[in-house]
Amino acid sequence: MENRGIPLLGDSFPEMKVVTTHGEMNLPNDYAGKWFVLFSHPGDFTPVCTTEFYSFQKRFDEFKALNCELIGLSVDQVFAHIKWEEWIKENLKIEITFPIIADTGAVAEKLGLIHPGKGTNTVRAVFVVDAAGKIRIMLYYPQELGRNMDEILRVVKAMQIADKNGVAMPANWPNNELIKDEVIVPPAKDVKTAKERLEKAKEGKWTCYDWWLCHKKL
């Protein structure tokens, strides 16, 4: 029997054919070479979800600038998605330009989006998938709490910088209380490297609180 549940960080995003407001799509293949954020919502024509879609769309260009696409999902049918998009455009004066998956429940089951005690509605889940189709970040919110889109934008940007430069990102980056917008040098794994870290600190190349806590400008 196949074991179903929430995927793990680092797993390949499961291959699936989905029906969306932009036609049929194959995930993750249609986004090959791009990052994407897939986010589920409990249902169309609901107040919290409406505020979320408005907020995602307001940041659409910022995600695009990071080579990152957006794709929504709920168990509503396509015609409900389309009608909801029309309502948002007419009443909130913004057009939803990213696709929304109309799920029959198969996608939600693969990704662990329907939680006990919440009926058949999907929870507010976020999957950040990198350009190689790997799941890098997963966030789950209850139905009662709307998401912070600036945080989702931040984590995409932070992970791309971490990957490119082989560094780690501090809490609240780029506004960390200790090291501001600098990044963390991964800790040394042997005595020789630990000594080298302190030498580089003396030379002014890095700043170190200790050999295991060094930071630098990008």
Residues labelled catalytic? 49
Kindly report the backbone phi and psi dihedral angles of residue 66, in degrees, each rounded to the nearest multiple of 5, phi listed first: -95, 15
Question: Quick one: DSSP state of residue 30?
Answer: G
Give me 115's structure tokens: 């939680």
- Alpha carbon 65 to its chain centroid, in Å, reads 15
DSSP string covering 63-114: HHHTTEEEEEEESS-HHHHHHHHHHHHHHHS----S-EEE--SHHHHHHT--
- First-to-last C-alpha distance (Å) of the chain: 48
CB atoms within 10 A of CB 152: 22
